[in-house]
Structure 1
């Protein structure tokens, strides 16, 4: 029987993240399902599940994790905290050559660390196996509604991060009283799904794209907008999703028709830098541009939403974009401005719920492959570095590492 000692690390990145890869109950479930597994937890006074909650279920606390085979965290591990010759699981944010993490990847190679990134864990069809996307959508939609309410003085909702559990946040839904506005939700993945969960529970009616564009309503409504609803390839008459994802640079945005009828935009769609932006800053100055509030849940700075000029913070989640000057201004400072909610770590606002959801995915879809010889190649595909070298799949990162200052 394969024996593995798994250490849950204390998050070290600043600002500190309260989430955890495995909750206390999931640690117990893991050891019951795989008798060769032992789980220990590095003490932390900032984790959303306290040390005492682990100890109550007989999960040992251990400060020094040097004897562990596998170390699991959530966010990037500071270079000074890396333990050589170990296997790590965490979100490294390196595969897009994010400049702030070049030194981290170089240190991983220098320390002979095997890095398996949650973002790169996929099935044979390339679909991601674990993610926090659903909770990004849930918190992002709530924040978007909260932002709209504050902008127009309609209601005040308790910030999500002050809610201990999602149930506390859902109690706030009863305060939401919206006029007959139209809310556009882009995307078809986990993030959009999470956003629509919130809108459904707020009893905001979902309508078709056609009705959203051409009908008037006496109540607030929302529509889910897929890529084919607002992109076109001039030389192709029939929408072809695979072609769009393979050749996004050949497409043009047709989102302009939505900017004329949408009041609140919730951006939940993955955006390829080669794809067109939803709209331009020039279009945002048009007299018939109706969008006044944007929840940029994907939070791609200077990405699909051109007025997302910077990311915001959990305690200061919004800012105003002045479409006439192109400058940012304090939030809610002018009703003619576009108010943007753009927080890049939304799941951190409901860390207990997000951690439970993530732990479930990890236990069901990833952990078994540590004990079955990785028969489906999931761990192999997800490995960025091992033995002091980048794997073939991620060899394109070598120049990124070499240039790390």
Structure 2
């Protein structure tokens, strides 16, 4: 059975966990040896993992104490050191869509002989993702967009619960009718966004694949809020261009880009060039003909860390049991990594 080591997340605002304590207990019952690092920010206290039977290690100690045969499990980016990665890592590497930081990360694996099993590309035979935080990303992104449109969004952001966040979405009849468009409404993120908007008393316009193939940009600009929740592995024509932002007929005032493919060839909203964050969740893109704001936070589900982690963990833990069984899901993930490393030489 595989040996797993769940690391502390180096990003200060990342409170999620790839495994919830209850699911850690199931893995241990299945024969997995699981070590969990201490973490002052993780939503689940470390004693819950100890009670589940996990070994406990100091924060960040995977670099010096983790056995070479273990898989290092995490969610977001690795710290800058060590420069050479020798372990097999499981996390969201964001390294296969042409992102600017991807070559450096892949070269760290190449030089150390390690492996990246990117959770973003853990897919079934049809190419559908089998584990994702999408629902809660969409829910959080749409919530922030509504609050920004109402003028009630405050910064810095803080993690919350579903009940607390939903409480901020109480319909406000004084604001009149608000029109909202969700692109990718049929996917996980889209469903989460639509549920949040419904909680706010807003019935969104829902666009799917056929709507984006023949995109009506005037109709898009006629909405107050846009939530982009598409998932694509191929470049698509842009939903908006910078010229569209200057359209005098534009009603659009808030964009929540849940997908956050900025810097990638897959970015369907090339109207901004950097993500926002918890300290500064909103950036102003235009003042005229009316203000237009962008929200593009790349760890939105961490605003709801307990709910998001439990849902993600429930999908992930059964797959972790099959790490050494020649699982086709993990084999596909490994093959993508190998192709990406091989392409480094082609890029020079």
Common fold: TM-score over 0.5: yes
After superposition, what is the alpha-carbon deviation per residue over 1:293-340, rounded to whole angstroms, capped at 9, x for unaligned? 22222234374334334321112211222265xxxxxxxxxx822122
CA RMSD in angstroms, aligned pairs only = 2.7
Corresponding residue to 1:169 among 149, 161, 165: 165
Q: Aligned-pair distance for 1:394?
A: 5.8
Distance in 1 (alpha carbons) for counterparts of 2:133 and 2:17: 11
Q: Deviations over 1:103-144 (max 9, x none)?
A: 221121222212211112111111111112212101101001
Partner of 1:132: 133
Superposition deviation, residue 350 in structure 1:
1.7
Would you say the 8 A contact 1:381–1:393 is kept in 2?
Answer: no
In the superposition, relative to structure 1, how do residues 110 and 287 fare at CA in structure 2: closer, same or farther (>3 Å)?
closer
1:41 partnered with 2:42: no
Q: Work out whether 1:292 is the aligned partner of 2:274.
A: no
Q: Which residue of 1 aligns with 2:27?
A: 30
* Shift, 1:25, TM fit: 1.4
Larger radius of gyration: 1
Name which of 375, 378, 396 aligns with 2:343.
396
1:365-391 deviations in Å (ceiling 9; x for gaps): x223225x124x111110158xxxx62
TM-score, scaled relative to structure 1: 0.75
Q: How far 1:175 moved relative to its partner?
A: 5.8
- The SS at the match of 1:136 is helix
Quick one: structure 1 residues 100 and 50, their matched pair in 2 at CA, closer, same or farther if it must change by over 3 Å? same
CA–CA separation in structure 2 for the residues paired with 1:72 and 1:257: 43
TM-score of the pair, normalised by structure 2: 0.86
For residue 106 of structure 2, give the secondary structure of its aligned residue in structure 1: helix
In the other structure, the counterpart of 2:143 is 142
Unaligned runs of 5+ in 1: 151-155, 206-221, 233-252, 325-334
1:186 matched to 2:168: no
In structure 2, C-alpha distance between the alignment counterparts of 1:397 and 1:81, rounded to whole Å: 20
Kindly report which structure 2 residues correspond to 1:6-405, keeping only aligned pairs within 5 A, or say none: 6-12=4-10, 14-15=11-12, 17-32=14-29, 34=30, 36-63=31-58, 64=61, 65-67=65-67, 69-81=70-82, 85-150=86-151, 156=152, 161-174=157-170, 176-177=172-173, 178-187=175-184, 188-205=186-203, 222-232=204-214, 253-259=215-221, 261-270=222-231, 274-301=235-262, 303-322=267-286, 324=288, 336-364=290-318, 366-370=319-323, 373-375=325-327, 377-383=328-334, 391-392=338-339, 395-400=342-347, 403=348
